[in-house]
Structure 1
Amino acid sequence: MLIIIGAILGFIAVVGVGFALTAATPGQAKTTKRVQAIARAPTNREVRARAARAAANTPDARRKAIVKTLKDQEKQAKKAQLTLSNKLLQAGLTMTPGFYYGICAGLGVTVMLLVVVLRQPIWAAPVLGAAIGVGLPRWIVNFLANGRIKKFTSAFSDAMDIIVRGIKSGLPVHDCLKIIGRETPQPLAGEFQRLMESIGMGMSFDQALEKMYDRMPTPELRFFSIVMNVQQKTGGNLAEALGNLSTVLRARKLMREKIKALSSEATASAMIIGCLPPGVVVLISVTQPGYMFPMFHDPRGQLMMLGGVTWMSMGIFVMRRMINFKF
């Protein structure tokens, strides 16, 4: 009996020593698991995820992302140009669309009353009232908007240079944008100040750029937003990207000035041809009123005037389309 008990105790002792010698520490267990995870074959999901990450960093994928962003921005620009509220913002006006329509209506009614008081043909009152009431305010808004956009575009490349120099000197991007809002001329400074105010109110950088693009729908600002979006998603040297963008913007500005110089002769010819008939009518009306009297009061003369204005308008429109270069 003692021999059997001793054999059992010896067996238990040998087994315990074996477990003690072969048991792994917690650190060794983690190392073993890591080695097993590396050595095992990856699953299909992991393979697809790695392939997707690798494909996203290729030049073709970046090019597709930029093209998609350009198309989205182009659609957004078309929507921004069609809405009256955005047009008023582009012109730098703080009035509401309702107040603008009130001005148009008041101006149209004033012109109609003036035509009636001057005892002009009755059909001229609604025509002139509608033309001046609708056309004149819209022309003024478009003139102001185009002027602000032109000033913004001419100074935008300098803003890119400020950001590039600030990043190279160690400043954050937000501090560079604040410097642009303080040091650059209007309307560039005001737009970047509104951009920083939007970011300070909790809006994301992408959303703030979209609001800024609604106020200034220019290709230069669209390029800037694309560069910032691509840099946030894929990383890279932002100073180098914005430096290249500044070079492209200056090249576009040089091309624009070159096109303007080459088309200046056609523009002057179109202006002379468009202004010559009305100028002759005004000159003859002042020097020889009796000679032009039947043209304004005789029904046949009025019909001829209507036809002449129609054909002149069509000619001016065609000439404008011929000398208006888009690039």
Structure 2
Amino acid sequence: MSGLLALLLALLLGIGLALWGLHSTGRNGRGRRLAERFAAHSLPHARVRMASRVAQRAPRAAWLRMPEPLERRLSQIFGWDAERLDQYPLSPPLLVLLASLPAMMLGLQAIRMLGGVGWLLTAAAWVLLARWGFGMVHRRRADALYRQLPDALGMVVRAVRAGIPVVEALRTIGKELPDPTGAEFRRLSDQLAIGIPMEEALRRLARRSGLPEYRFFAVALSLQNSAGGNLTETLDNLADVVRKRVATRQRGHALASQARASAYVLSAVPVFAAGALLVINPRYILVLFNDPRGNMVLAFAIGSLALGLGTMKTIIRRSLS
């Protein structure tokens, strides 16, 4: 009973943390505050209006906003990126809460079987599930950025050859290309519009992307902006290299499709076998749930299956990287 009560308290704490994060990281709130800052810098009478709004919102913001040290520590533990909150479908604290639900379902059984060690396994499963979910979002975003980079470079090259300024070419990329590349270049254009130097804005873009090709793109544009040079040839060569690497990766994915199918089939065979035994003779399967020794066998089987599937996926992903 005490274990269930502690899990319930942890669930309530997670819900409070998620609501806290939803209020502090809402897109509409950030956009409204940013617009008010712009208005305060451009219109004198807007400073008074913004000051009154901030004063009205101050009592609420004191408890709705997550402290920065706490947010930084939680992001390091659970694996979300505090600088790229717009890439997640939900607020990161809410995603952490969702990851806690399957972890607690497994934790109830682990605590009943192993006692105090089950608490450690529950916490570890919670962190691993959250980091796996955020890592999957990061990988998908990085793959999309990588696939769309040649189109972005081609637009810059064509714009520069036509005599259009580089800043206007970057703004065009933000308007024409889909997300996430379009969103990143819109953010870059907004930073340039409020006076951030191009070198710093490009450095932030490269850091957010996490791709070496974006770092090379940032260095090339920074050098051209400060010292001049043949930017079109450099970016054209980079776009050609990235296109070839994307094509090679796609061929690799096609060749690895058989290995992925084998991994999925091998992972599904035990599940189908257990279902067949449950239909033929339920006693053979129910002993895994009713007997403590059967619980240990079931936990070991699930862990081995998950470890094998994760190992195969890791090998396939690294062979294609």
Is TM (by shorter chain) over 0.5?
A: yes
Instruction: Tell me, yes or no, if structure 1 residue 243 matches structure 2 residue 264.
Output: no
Q: 1:109 to 1:132 in 2, by over 3 A?
A: closer
Match of residue 256, structure 1, among 249, 255, 269: 249
The aligned residue for residue 62 of structure 2 is none
- Between the aligned partners of 1:270 and 1:108, the Cα distance in structure 2 is 23
The aligned residue for residue 87 of structure 2 is 92
Instruction: Tell me, yes or no, if structure 1 residue 266 matches structure 2 residue 259.
Output: yes
Q: Which runs of 5+ in 1 are unaligned?
A: 1-79
Deviation track 1:104-161 (CA, whole Å, cap 9, x = no partner) reads 6863786479869xx9757597478546643444333333332222222222211111
Q: 1:166 to 1:247 in 2, by over 3 A?
A: same
**In the alignment, residue 241 of structure 2 is paired with which amino acid?**
V
Match of residue 151, structure 2, among 158, 180, 183: 158
The aligned residue for residue 205 of structure 1 is 198
- Between the aligned partners of 1:243 and 1:82, the Cα distance in structure 2 is 40
Q: 1:263 to 1:137 in 2, by over 3 A?
A: same
Q: TM-score, normalised by structure 2?
A: 0.64
Superposed CA RMSD:
3.6
- Between the aligned partners of 1:304 and 1:103, the Cα distance in structure 2 is 29
- Shift >6 Å, 4+ stretches: 80-83, 94-97, 112-116
**In the alignment, residue 267 of structure 1 is paired with which amino acid?**
R
- Between the aligned partners of 1:265 and 1:81, the Cα distance in structure 2 is 36
Q: 1:181 to 1:278 in 2, by over 3 A?
A: same
SS across alignment from 2:210 = coil
Q: TM-score, normalised by structure 1?
A: 0.63
- Between the aligned partners of 2:231 and 2:77, the Cα distance in structure 1 is 33
The aligned residue for residue 63 of structure 2 is none
Q: Determine which structure has more spread, i.e. the larger CA radius of gyration.
A: 1
Q: 1:266 to 1:179 in 2, by over 3 A?
A: same
The aligned residue for residue 107 of structure 1 is 101
**In the alignment, residue 303 of structure 2 is paired with which amino acid?**
T
Instruction: Tell me, yes or no, if structure 1 residue 143 matches structure 2 residue 143.
Output: no
- Between the aligned partners of 2:244 and 2:133, the Cα distance in structure 1 is 30
Deviation at 1:303, TM superposition (A): 2.3
Q: Is the 8 A contact 1:90 1:215 kept in 2?
A: no
**In the alignment, residue 197 of structure 2 is paired with which amino acid?**
S
